[in-house]
Structure 1
Amino acid sequence: MSKFVLQQAINKVWYGTFTSFAALGIKHGISTRLGGHSASPFASLNLGLHTGDDAEVVWHNRQLFCQAVGLTAEKVVTAEQIHGDSIYRVTATDAGRGAQHYDEAIKGTDALITNEPGLPLMLFFADCVPVLIVDPVAKAIGISHAGWKGTVAKIAQKTIFAMQRQFHTNPSDCLVGIGPSIRPCCYEVDEAVINKLSVEFDHWDRLVKPTGENRWQLNLWEANRQQLNEIGIRDNNITVSQICTADNTALFFSHRAEKGNTGRIGAIISL
Protein backbone atom coordinates (compact mmCIF):
# COMPACT_ATOMS: atom_id res chain seq x y z
CA MET A 1 0.00 0.00 0.00
CA SER A 2 1.25 3.47 -0.89
CA LYS A 3 2.34 5.64 2.03
CA PHE A 4 1.26 8.83 0.24
CA VAL A 5 -2.23 8.74 -1.22
CA LEU A 6 -3.94 11.12 -3.65
CA GLN A 7 -7.70 11.41 -3.26
CA GLN A 8 -10.65 13.51 -4.37
CA ALA A 9 -12.91 15.13 -1.79
CA ILE A 10 -16.66 15.51 -2.15
CA ASN A 11 -16.14 19.14 -3.20
CA LYS A 12 -13.96 17.95 -6.16
CA VAL A 13 -10.64 19.09 -4.63
CA TRP A 14 -7.75 16.67 -5.14
CA TYR A 15 -5.14 16.40 -2.38
CA GLY A 16 -2.66 13.93 -0.89
CA THR A 17 -2.18 12.52 2.61
CA PHE A 18 0.43 10.46 4.45
CA THR A 19 -0.97 7.19 5.78
CA SER A 20 1.28 7.35 8.87
CA PHE A 21 -0.27 10.69 9.86
CA ALA A 22 -3.80 9.58 9.06
CA ALA A 23 -3.38 6.53 11.30
CA LEU A 24 -2.79 8.92 14.21
CA GLY A 25 -5.86 11.01 13.39
CA ILE A 26 -3.74 14.00 12.31
CA LYS A 27 -5.68 16.22 9.94
CA HIS A 28 -3.41 17.23 7.09
CA GLY A 29 -3.12 17.42 3.34
CA ILE A 30 -1.03 18.54 0.40
CA SER A 31 -3.07 20.14 -2.34
CA THR A 32 -2.82 19.58 -6.07
CA ARG A 33 -3.77 22.17 -8.65
CA LEU A 34 -7.13 20.48 -9.28
CA GLY A 35 -10.54 21.55 -8.01
CA GLY A 36 -10.28 25.33 -7.69
CA HIS A 37 -11.44 28.46 -9.48
CA SER A 38 -8.30 30.31 -10.58
CA ALA A 39 -7.82 31.13 -14.25
CA SER A 40 -4.70 30.33 -16.28
CA PRO A 41 -1.77 30.37 -15.54
CA PHE A 42 -2.92 29.71 -11.97
CA ALA A 43 -5.51 27.13 -12.93
CA SER A 44 -7.12 26.03 -10.88
CA LEU A 45 -6.52 25.48 -7.15
CA ASN A 46 -3.91 28.18 -6.60
CA LEU A 47 -3.44 28.78 -2.87
CA GLY A 48 -0.73 31.45 -3.06
CA LEU A 49 -1.74 35.05 -2.36
CA HIS A 50 1.62 36.40 -3.58
CA THR A 51 1.45 35.09 -7.15
CA GLY A 52 -0.53 37.84 -8.86
CA ASP A 53 -3.76 35.85 -8.83
CA ASP A 54 -7.07 37.41 -7.73
CA ALA A 55 -7.01 37.46 -3.90
CA GLU A 56 -10.73 36.72 -3.56
CA VAL A 57 -10.40 33.67 -5.80
CA VAL A 58 -7.39 32.44 -3.81
CA TRP A 59 -9.33 32.82 -0.56
CA HIS A 60 -12.17 30.79 -2.05
CA ASN A 61 -9.64 28.14 -3.12
CA ARG A 62 -8.20 28.03 0.40
CA GLN A 63 -11.69 27.54 1.81
CA LEU A 64 -12.28 24.66 -0.59
CA PHE A 65 -8.98 22.99 0.32
CA CYS A 66 -9.58 23.33 4.05
CA GLN A 67 -13.10 21.98 3.63
CA ALA A 68 -11.68 18.96 1.79
CA VAL A 69 -9.20 18.24 4.59
CA GLY A 70 -11.74 18.91 7.34
CA LEU A 71 -10.24 22.10 8.76
CA THR A 72 -11.47 25.66 9.30
CA ALA A 73 -9.96 28.10 6.79
CA GLU A 74 -10.52 31.12 9.04
CA LYS A 75 -8.19 29.64 11.69
CA VAL A 76 -5.31 28.85 9.33
CA VAL A 77 -1.92 30.37 10.16
CA THR A 78 0.50 31.10 7.30
CA ALA A 79 3.84 32.81 6.82
CA GLU A 80 5.65 35.20 4.51
CA GLN A 81 8.18 32.67 3.19
CA ILE A 82 11.60 34.06 2.31
CA HIS A 83 13.78 30.94 1.82
CA GLY A 84 15.35 31.42 5.23
CA ASP A 85 15.58 29.29 8.37
CA SER A 86 13.43 31.23 10.85
CA ILE A 87 10.94 29.17 12.85
CA TYR A 88 7.87 30.54 14.62
CA ARG A 89 5.90 28.99 17.47
CA VAL A 90 2.21 29.45 16.73
CA THR A 91 -0.20 30.01 19.62
CA ALA A 92 -3.95 30.51 19.86
CA THR A 93 -3.54 34.29 19.51
CA ASP A 94 -2.13 33.75 15.99
CA ALA A 95 -5.25 32.03 14.66
CA GLY A 96 -6.14 33.32 11.19
CA ARG A 97 -2.87 35.17 10.52
CA GLY A 98 -2.37 35.30 6.77
CA ALA A 99 -5.40 33.14 6.04
CA GLN A 100 -7.13 35.78 3.91
CA HIS A 101 -4.56 38.58 3.59
CA TYR A 102 -0.89 38.15 2.71
CA ASP A 103 0.21 41.23 4.66
CA GLU A 104 -1.12 39.63 7.86
CA ALA A 105 1.02 36.49 7.52
CA ILE A 106 3.87 35.89 9.97
CA LYS A 107 6.81 37.85 8.59
CA GLY A 108 10.05 36.35 7.32
CA THR A 109 9.36 32.80 8.40
CA ASP A 110 9.79 29.41 6.67
CA ALA A 111 8.70 26.99 9.40
CA LEU A 112 5.85 26.88 11.90
CA ILE A 113 5.41 24.74 15.01
CA THR A 114 2.60 24.38 17.53
CA ASN A 115 1.14 22.17 20.22
CA GLU A 116 -2.26 23.87 20.09
CA PRO A 117 -5.11 21.56 18.99
CA GLY A 118 -7.30 22.79 16.15
CA LEU A 119 -4.82 25.40 14.91
CA PRO A 120 -3.92 24.59 11.27
CA LEU A 121 -0.45 25.49 9.96
CA MET A 122 -0.13 26.04 6.20
CA LEU A 123 2.80 26.86 3.89
CA PHE A 124 3.01 27.13 0.10
CA PHE A 125 5.14 25.46 -2.56
CA ALA A 126 5.90 25.16 -6.26
CA ASP A 127 8.92 22.77 -6.45
CA CYS A 128 10.36 23.44 -2.96
CA VAL A 129 10.08 20.60 -0.46
CA PRO A 130 7.18 20.50 2.03
CA VAL A 131 8.34 18.84 5.26
CA LEU A 132 5.52 17.91 7.65
CA ILE A 133 6.38 16.75 11.18
CA VAL A 134 4.32 15.01 13.85
CA ASP A 135 5.45 14.24 17.40
CA PRO A 136 2.74 11.86 18.66
CA VAL A 137 4.29 11.64 22.15
CA ALA A 138 4.62 15.32 23.04
CA LYS A 139 1.59 16.06 20.83
CA ALA A 140 3.18 18.71 18.66
CA ILE A 141 3.49 19.40 14.94
CA GLY A 142 5.68 21.37 12.58
CA ILE A 143 5.91 22.29 8.92
CA SER A 144 8.93 23.53 6.96
CA HIS A 145 9.51 25.12 3.55
CA ALA A 146 12.74 23.62 2.20
CA GLY A 147 13.92 24.96 -1.12
CA TRP A 148 17.62 24.62 -1.81
CA LYS A 149 18.43 27.49 0.57
CA GLY A 150 16.27 26.08 3.36
CA THR A 151 17.58 22.57 2.75
CA VAL A 152 21.22 23.72 2.89
CA ALA A 153 20.38 25.66 6.07
CA LYS A 154 18.89 22.41 7.43
CA ILE A 155 15.54 24.00 8.23
CA ALA A 156 13.81 20.62 8.67
CA GLN A 157 16.38 19.64 11.30
CA LYS A 158 16.16 23.06 12.96
CA THR A 159 12.37 22.81 13.07
CA ILE A 160 12.61 19.62 15.11
CA PHE A 161 15.22 21.21 17.37
CA ALA A 162 12.75 24.07 17.94
CA MET A 163 10.07 21.52 18.83
CA GLN A 164 12.55 19.92 21.20
CA ARG A 165 13.13 23.25 22.97
CA GLN A 166 9.50 24.31 23.06
CA PHE A 167 7.66 21.02 23.55
CA HIS A 168 10.34 18.57 24.78
CA THR A 169 10.13 16.62 21.53
CA ASN A 170 12.39 13.61 21.21
CA PRO A 171 13.44 13.50 17.53
CA SER A 172 13.29 9.70 17.48
CA ASP A 173 9.55 9.90 18.25
CA CYS A 174 8.80 12.05 15.20
CA LEU A 175 7.09 11.02 11.99
CA VAL A 176 8.01 13.06 8.91
CA GLY A 177 6.32 13.43 5.54
CA ILE A 178 8.21 14.85 2.56
CA GLY A 179 5.69 16.05 0.02
CA PRO A 180 5.59 16.44 -3.77
CA SER A 181 8.49 18.61 -4.95
CA ILE A 182 11.12 18.72 -7.66
CA ARG A 183 13.24 15.59 -8.10
CA PRO A 184 16.93 15.49 -9.10
CA CYS A 185 16.44 14.82 -12.81
CA CYS A 186 14.55 18.11 -13.13
CA TYR A 187 16.66 20.16 -10.73
CA GLU A 188 20.03 21.33 -12.01
CA VAL A 189 22.10 23.74 -9.91
CA ASP A 190 25.38 25.61 -10.30
CA GLU A 191 28.66 25.80 -8.41
CA ALA A 192 27.40 28.52 -6.04
CA VAL A 193 24.80 26.10 -4.66
CA ILE A 194 27.28 23.22 -4.47
CA ASN A 195 29.77 25.34 -2.54
CA LYS A 196 27.18 26.06 0.15
CA LEU A 197 25.98 22.46 0.19
CA SER A 198 29.51 21.12 0.69
CA VAL A 199 30.00 23.27 3.79
CA GLU A 200 26.87 21.98 5.55
CA PHE A 201 26.77 18.30 4.51
CA ASP A 202 29.58 15.84 5.26
CA HIS A 203 28.46 13.53 2.48
CA TRP A 204 27.31 16.20 0.04
CA ASP A 205 28.72 14.26 -2.94
CA ARG A 206 26.02 11.62 -2.37
CA LEU A 207 23.36 14.28 -2.93
CA VAL A 208 24.45 15.40 -6.39
CA LYS A 209 25.14 14.04 -9.87
CA PRO A 210 27.42 15.97 -12.28
CA THR A 211 25.71 16.84 -15.56
CA GLY A 212 28.30 19.08 -17.23
CA GLU A 213 30.78 21.82 -16.55
CA ASN A 214 29.85 23.43 -13.22
CA ARG A 215 26.37 21.88 -13.28
CA TRP A 216 24.90 19.23 -10.98
CA GLN A 217 21.54 17.59 -10.33
CA LEU A 218 20.63 18.06 -6.66
CA ASN A 219 18.53 15.59 -4.68
CA LEU A 220 16.56 17.69 -2.21
CA TRP A 221 14.61 14.67 -0.97
CA GLU A 222 17.78 12.86 0.04
CA ALA A 223 19.33 16.01 1.54
CA ASN A 224 16.33 16.42 3.82
CA ARG A 225 16.26 12.73 4.70
CA GLN A 226 19.98 12.80 5.50
CA GLN A 227 19.68 15.77 7.87
CA LEU A 228 16.79 14.08 9.66
CA ASN A 229 18.81 10.87 10.05
CA GLU A 230 21.59 12.95 11.62
CA ILE A 231 19.38 13.83 14.58
CA GLY A 232 18.00 10.35 15.19
CA ILE A 233 14.96 10.04 12.95
CA ARG A 234 14.85 6.56 11.46
CA ASP A 235 14.16 5.96 7.77
CA ASN A 236 11.01 4.01 8.59
CA ASN A 237 9.63 7.15 10.25
CA ILE A 238 10.20 9.23 7.10
CA THR A 239 7.81 9.04 4.15
CA VAL A 240 8.88 10.57 0.83
CA SER A 241 5.97 11.03 -1.58
CA GLN A 242 8.26 10.31 -4.57
CA ILE A 243 6.19 12.67 -6.75
CA CYS A 244 7.99 15.28 -8.86
CA THR A 245 6.18 18.58 -9.34
CA ALA A 246 8.17 19.50 -12.46
CA ASP A 247 7.30 16.19 -14.14
CA ASN A 248 3.62 16.46 -13.22
CA THR A 249 2.44 19.97 -14.08
CA ALA A 250 -1.02 18.62 -14.86
CA LEU A 251 -1.31 17.87 -11.13
CA PHE A 252 1.04 20.33 -9.43
CA PHE A 253 2.46 23.82 -9.88
CA SER A 254 6.14 23.97 -10.83
CA HIS A 255 8.08 27.22 -10.66
CA ARG A 256 10.92 25.79 -12.74
CA ALA A 257 8.91 23.90 -15.36
CA GLU A 258 6.47 26.80 -15.81
CA LYS A 259 9.22 29.45 -15.77
CA GLY A 260 7.96 31.20 -12.66
CA ASN A 261 4.49 31.97 -14.02
CA THR A 262 2.40 29.66 -11.90
CA GLY A 263 0.47 29.18 -8.68
CA ARG A 264 1.23 27.45 -5.38
CA ILE A 265 0.10 24.24 -3.75
CA GLY A 266 -0.47 24.25 -0.02
CA ALA A 267 0.61 21.87 2.73
CA ILE A 268 -1.50 21.97 5.86
CA ILE A 269 -1.40 20.16 9.19
CA SER A 270 -3.31 20.41 12.47
CA LEU A 271 -3.51 18.55 15.76
Structure 2
Amino acid sequence: MQLPFEQFSALSAAGICRHVFTQRIPGIDVSHDKAEVLKGLDAAHREICNAIGVGDWPLFTAEQIHGNKIAVVDEVGSALRVDRGRRGAASLPSREFPGCDGIITNQRGIALGVYVADCCAVYIVDPRTPAIGLAHSGRKGTELGVVTNAIREMIDRFGSVPASMIVQLSPCIRPPHYQVDFAAEIIRQCRALGVKEIHDSGVCTACDLNRYYSYRAEKGKTGRMLALIGLRALPIRQKSVRL
Protein backbone atom coordinates (compact mmCIF):
# COMPACT_ATOMS: atom_id res chain seq x y z
CA MET A 1 0.00 0.00 0.00
CA GLN A 2 1.29 3.44 -0.91
CA LEU A 3 2.03 5.56 2.13
CA PRO A 4 0.11 8.88 2.30
CA PHE A 5 2.78 11.52 1.87
CA GLU A 6 4.18 13.87 -0.74
CA GLN A 7 7.52 15.46 -1.52
CA PHE A 8 8.50 18.58 -3.42
CA SER A 9 10.67 18.40 -6.53
CA ALA A 10 12.54 21.64 -5.74
CA LEU A 11 13.72 20.30 -2.38
CA SER A 12 14.59 16.89 -3.81
CA ALA A 13 16.61 18.54 -6.57
CA ALA A 14 18.71 20.43 -4.00
CA GLY A 15 20.27 17.07 -3.15
CA ILE A 16 21.29 17.94 0.42
CA CYS A 17 18.19 17.14 2.46
CA ARG A 18 15.46 14.62 3.14
CA HIS A 19 11.94 15.95 3.51
CA VAL A 20 8.29 14.96 3.60
CA PHE A 21 4.78 16.37 3.91
CA THR A 22 2.36 13.76 5.23
CA GLN A 23 -1.24 13.59 4.09
CA ARG A 24 -4.47 12.41 5.74
CA ILE A 25 -3.98 9.05 7.45
CA PRO A 26 -6.95 6.69 6.86
CA GLY A 27 -8.72 5.18 9.86
CA ILE A 28 -7.54 7.65 12.52
CA ASP A 29 -10.15 9.13 14.89
CA VAL A 30 -9.58 12.89 14.83
CA SER A 31 -12.46 13.90 17.10
CA HIS A 32 -10.18 14.34 20.15
CA ASP A 33 -7.91 17.24 21.14
CA LYS A 34 -4.66 17.88 19.29
CA ALA A 35 -2.40 15.99 21.70
CA GLU A 36 -4.56 12.87 21.57
CA VAL A 37 -4.86 13.02 17.79
CA LEU A 38 -1.08 13.31 17.39
CA LYS A 39 -0.68 10.18 19.51
CA GLY A 40 -3.01 8.39 17.13
CA LEU A 41 -1.03 9.62 14.12
CA ASP A 42 2.37 8.80 15.59
CA ALA A 43 2.70 5.23 14.29
CA ALA A 44 1.84 6.25 10.72
CA HIS A 45 4.18 9.23 10.86
CA ARG A 46 6.99 6.99 12.12
CA GLU A 47 6.39 4.57 9.26
CA ILE A 48 6.64 7.42 6.77
CA CYS A 49 9.83 8.71 8.43
CA ASN A 50 11.33 5.23 8.13
CA ALA A 51 10.33 5.10 4.46
CA ILE A 52 12.23 8.30 3.62
CA GLY A 53 15.28 7.32 5.66
CA VAL A 54 14.99 9.54 8.74
CA GLY A 55 13.35 7.12 11.15
CA ASP A 56 16.39 7.01 13.44
CA TRP A 57 17.11 10.76 13.32
CA PRO A 58 16.36 12.94 16.38
CA LEU A 59 13.22 14.99 15.71
CA PHE A 60 13.02 18.62 16.88
CA THR A 61 9.59 20.26 16.86
CA ALA A 62 8.15 23.64 17.86
CA GLU A 63 5.32 24.32 20.30
CA GLN A 64 3.55 26.41 17.63
CA ILE A 65 1.76 29.30 19.31
CA HIS A 66 1.17 31.32 16.12
CA GLY A 67 4.10 33.57 17.00
CA ASN A 68 7.42 34.46 15.38
CA LYS A 69 10.10 32.96 17.66
CA ILE A 70 12.75 30.77 16.06
CA ALA A 71 14.70 27.98 17.73
CA VAL A 72 18.30 27.34 16.66
CA VAL A 73 19.99 23.96 16.74
CA ASP A 74 23.65 24.69 16.10
CA GLU A 75 25.09 21.58 17.67
CA VAL A 76 23.50 18.23 18.39
CA GLY A 77 22.22 18.11 21.95
CA SER A 78 22.30 21.89 22.25
CA ALA A 79 19.56 24.35 21.35
CA LEU A 80 18.72 28.01 21.85
CA ARG A 81 15.37 29.72 21.92
CA VAL A 82 15.75 32.91 19.94
CA ASP A 83 13.79 36.12 20.28
CA ARG A 84 14.78 39.01 18.03
CA GLY A 85 16.94 41.07 20.39
CA ARG A 86 16.68 38.59 23.27
CA ARG A 87 18.44 35.24 23.45
CA GLY A 88 18.68 32.70 26.19
CA ALA A 89 19.36 29.04 26.77
CA ALA A 90 16.33 26.77 26.67
CA SER A 91 15.90 23.81 28.97
CA LEU A 92 14.70 20.90 26.87
CA PRO A 93 13.24 17.95 28.77
CA SER A 94 11.85 16.94 25.38
CA ARG A 95 12.68 17.86 21.81
CA GLU A 96 9.85 20.40 21.53
CA PHE A 97 10.87 24.07 21.67
CA PRO A 98 8.45 26.05 23.86
CA GLY A 99 7.14 29.35 22.52
CA CYS A 100 8.56 28.81 19.04
CA ASP A 101 7.03 28.50 15.57
CA GLY A 102 10.17 27.83 13.57
CA ILE A 103 13.47 25.97 13.80
CA ILE A 104 16.75 26.35 11.91
CA THR A 105 19.87 24.21 11.92
CA ASN A 106 23.18 23.56 10.20
CA GLN A 107 23.49 20.10 11.73
CA ARG A 108 23.27 16.92 9.70
CA GLY A 109 21.31 13.81 10.59
CA ILE A 110 18.59 15.53 12.63
CA ALA A 111 15.02 16.30 11.56
CA LEU A 112 12.99 19.48 12.04
CA GLY A 113 9.21 19.13 12.16
CA VAL A 114 6.03 21.19 12.39
CA TYR A 115 2.39 20.07 12.35
CA VAL A 116 -0.17 21.87 10.20
CA ALA A 117 -3.85 21.67 9.27
CA ASP A 118 -4.45 24.82 7.17
CA CYS A 119 -1.40 26.85 8.20
CA CYS A 120 1.56 26.75 5.84
CA ALA A 121 4.72 24.77 6.48
CA VAL A 122 7.55 26.78 4.95
CA TYR A 123 10.71 24.85 4.10
CA ILE A 124 13.92 26.89 3.77
CA VAL A 125 17.05 25.34 2.27
CA ASP A 126 20.47 26.93 1.85
CA PRO A 127 22.51 24.46 -0.22
CA ARG A 128 25.63 26.63 -0.10
CA THR A 129 26.25 26.72 3.66
CA PRO A 130 24.47 24.22 4.04
CA ALA A 131 21.63 24.99 6.44
CA ILE A 132 17.88 24.48 6.63
CA GLY A 133 14.84 25.94 8.34
CA LEU A 134 11.18 25.08 8.82
CA ALA A 135 8.44 27.47 9.91
CA HIS A 136 4.76 27.17 10.86
CA SER A 137 3.11 30.21 9.30
CA GLY A 138 -0.63 30.88 9.30
CA ARG A 139 -2.34 34.25 9.10
CA LYS A 140 -1.05 35.51 12.45
CA GLY A 141 2.45 34.07 12.13
CA THR A 142 2.75 35.57 8.67
CA GLU A 143 1.68 38.98 9.98
CA LEU A 144 4.33 38.65 12.71
CA GLY A 145 7.00 37.67 10.17
CA VAL A 146 7.92 34.19 11.37
CA VAL A 147 9.43 33.20 8.01
CA THR A 148 11.28 36.51 7.81
CA ASN A 149 12.73 35.83 11.26
CA ALA A 150 13.80 32.33 10.26
CA ILE A 151 15.64 33.62 7.20
CA ARG A 152 17.28 36.42 9.17
CA GLU A 153 18.43 33.96 11.82
CA MET A 154 19.96 31.75 9.13
CA ILE A 155 21.82 34.81 7.84
CA ASP A 156 23.01 35.80 11.33
CA ARG A 157 23.87 32.34 12.64
CA PHE A 158 25.10 30.46 9.60
CA GLY A 159 26.10 33.14 7.10
CA SER A 160 23.36 32.11 4.69
CA VAL A 161 22.71 34.30 1.65
CA PRO A 162 19.04 34.74 0.66
CA ALA A 163 19.87 34.68 -3.06
CA SER A 164 21.20 31.13 -2.58
CA MET A 165 18.14 29.89 -0.67
CA ILE A 166 15.29 27.69 -1.84
CA VAL A 167 11.89 28.28 -0.21
CA GLN A 168 9.01 25.83 -0.57
CA LEU A 169 5.44 26.47 0.61
CA SER A 170 3.31 23.46 1.54
CA PRO A 171 -0.40 22.99 0.88
CA CYS A 172 -2.38 25.39 3.09
CA ILE A 173 -5.81 26.99 3.20
CA ARG A 174 -6.44 29.62 0.54
CA PRO A 175 -9.24 31.81 -0.84
CA PRO A 176 -12.14 31.33 -1.28
CA HIS A 177 -12.08 28.95 1.71
CA TYR A 178 -10.22 31.58 3.75
CA GLN A 179 -10.45 35.34 3.48
CA VAL A 180 -6.70 35.99 3.69
CA ASP A 181 -4.13 34.78 1.15
CA PHE A 182 -1.25 34.49 3.58
CA ALA A 183 0.69 32.26 1.17
CA ALA A 184 1.01 35.23 -1.19
CA GLU A 185 2.24 37.38 1.70
CA ILE A 186 4.87 34.77 2.66
CA ILE A 187 6.16 34.86 -0.91
CA ARG A 188 6.25 38.67 -0.86
CA GLN A 189 8.23 38.68 2.40
CA CYS A 190 10.75 36.17 1.05
CA ARG A 191 11.27 38.20 -2.11
CA ALA A 192 11.75 41.36 -0.04
CA LEU A 193 14.68 39.65 1.70
CA GLY A 194 16.27 38.70 -1.60
CA VAL A 195 15.16 35.08 -1.97
CA LYS A 196 14.90 34.32 -5.69
CA GLU A 197 13.91 30.65 -5.80
CA ILE A 198 10.45 30.34 -4.23
CA HIS A 199 8.12 27.45 -4.92
CA ASP A 200 4.48 27.28 -3.89
CA SER A 201 2.51 24.03 -4.02
CA GLY A 202 -0.56 26.14 -4.83
CA VAL A 203 -2.76 23.53 -3.14
CA CYS A 204 -5.62 24.40 -0.76
CA THR A 205 -6.04 22.03 2.19
CA ALA A 206 -9.75 22.83 2.57
CA CYS A 207 -10.41 21.85 -1.06
CA ASP A 208 -9.47 18.18 -0.70
CA LEU A 209 -10.48 16.59 2.61
CA ASN A 210 -9.76 13.14 1.23
CA ARG A 211 -6.07 14.04 1.06
CA TYR A 212 -5.53 16.72 3.71
CA TYR A 213 -6.72 17.78 7.15
CA SER A 214 -8.36 21.21 7.41
CA TYR A 215 -8.96 22.83 10.79
CA ARG A 216 -11.37 25.36 9.32
CA ALA A 217 -13.34 23.04 7.04
CA GLU A 218 -13.64 20.39 9.76
CA LYS A 219 -14.46 22.93 12.49
CA GLY A 220 -11.46 22.11 14.65
CA LYS A 221 -12.02 18.35 14.83
CA THR A 222 -9.21 17.24 12.61
CA GLY A 223 -5.73 15.74 12.40
CA ARG A 224 -2.40 17.26 11.45
CA MET A 225 0.02 16.88 8.56
CA LEU A 226 3.65 16.52 9.59
CA ALA A 227 6.12 18.66 7.64
CA LEU A 228 9.67 17.44 8.14
CA ILE A 229 13.11 18.27 6.79
CA GLY A 230 16.69 17.32 7.67
CA LEU A 231 20.17 17.71 6.21
CA ARG A 232 21.53 14.46 4.83
CA ALA A 233 24.34 12.93 6.85
CA LEU A 234 27.75 12.90 5.19
CA PRO A 235 28.88 9.47 4.00
CA ILE A 236 31.38 7.78 6.27
CA ARG A 237 34.78 7.69 4.65
CA GLN A 238 36.64 4.44 5.01
CA LYS A 239 40.27 4.75 5.97
CA SER A 240 42.66 3.34 3.45
CA VAL A 241 44.84 0.52 4.70
CA ARG A 242 48.45 0.40 3.61
CA LEU A 243 49.75 -3.09 3.04
TM-score computed with the length of structure 1 as normaliser: 0.75
2-side partners of 1:37 and 1:114: how far apart? 34
**Residue segments in structure 1 that go unaligned for 5+ positions in a row:** 1-10, 43-48, 96-101, 188-216
Match of 2:54 in 1: 71
Q: Which residue of 1 aligns with 2:163?
A: 172
Alpha-carbon separation, structure 1, partners of 2:5 and 2:214: 16
Q: Structure 2: which amino acid aligns with 1:126?
A: A
Note if contact 1:63-1:73 (Cα within 8 Å) is conserved in structure 2: no
- How many equivalent pairs are there? 216
DSSP-derived class of the 2:34 partner: coil
Determine the structure 1 residue equivalent to 2:34. Answer: 50
Is 1:229–2:191 an aligned residue pair?
yes
2:4 aligned with 1:14:
yes
Amino acid at match of 1:72: G
The amino acid that maps onto 2:171 is P
Matches within 5 A, 1:28-47: 28-34=19-25, 38-41=28-31
TM-superposed CA distance for 1:228, in Å, is 0.5
SS for the counterpart of 1:268 is strand
Shift of residue 258, structure 1, vs aligned partner? 0.2
Distance 1:30 1:166, change over 3 A: same
Q: Partner residue of 1:244?
A: 204
Matches of 1:76 and 1:185, distance apart in 2: 35
Deviation readout 1:210-267 (Å, 9 max, x if unpaired): xxxxxxx211111000000101112xx1110011001111101100000000110010
- 8 A Cα contact 1:18 1:239, kept in partner: no
User: Which residue is equivalent to 1:127?
Assistant: 118
Look up the match of 1:92.
Answer: 76
How far the C-alpha of 1:103 sits from its partner, in A, is 6.3
Q: Partners of 1:39 and 1:12 in 2: how far apart?
A: 20
- Give the fraction of aligned pairs with identical amino acids, expressed as a percent: 33
TM-score (norm 2): 0.83
* Whole-angstrom distance in 2 between the partners of 1:37 and 1:67: 20
Listed as ranges, the matches of 1:197-212 within 5 Å are none
Where does residue 65 of structure 2 map in the other structure?
Answer: 82
Distance 1:258 1:180 in 2: 16
Contact 2:212 2:225 in 1 (8 A): yes
Counterpart Cα distance in 1 of 2:181 and 2:64? 21
Indicate the structure with greater helix content.
Answer: 1
- Post-superposition Cα deviations, 1:182-236, rounded to whole Å, max 9, x if no partner, equal 012111xxxxxxxxxxxxxxxxxxxxxxxxxxxxx211111000000101112xx
**Does structure 2 conserve the Cα–Cα contact (< 8 Å) formed by 1:37 and 1:61?**
no
Superposed displacement of residue 82, structure 1: 0.5
1:78 counterpart SS class = strand
CA RMSD of aligned residues (A): 2.1
Matched, 1:159 2:143: no
Q: State the partner residue of 1:5.
A: none
Q: How far has the Cα of 1:117 moved from its partner?
A: 0.6
Take 1:103 and 1:263, find their aligned partners in 2: how far apart are those partners? 22
SS at match of 1:52: helix
Aligned match of 1:199: none
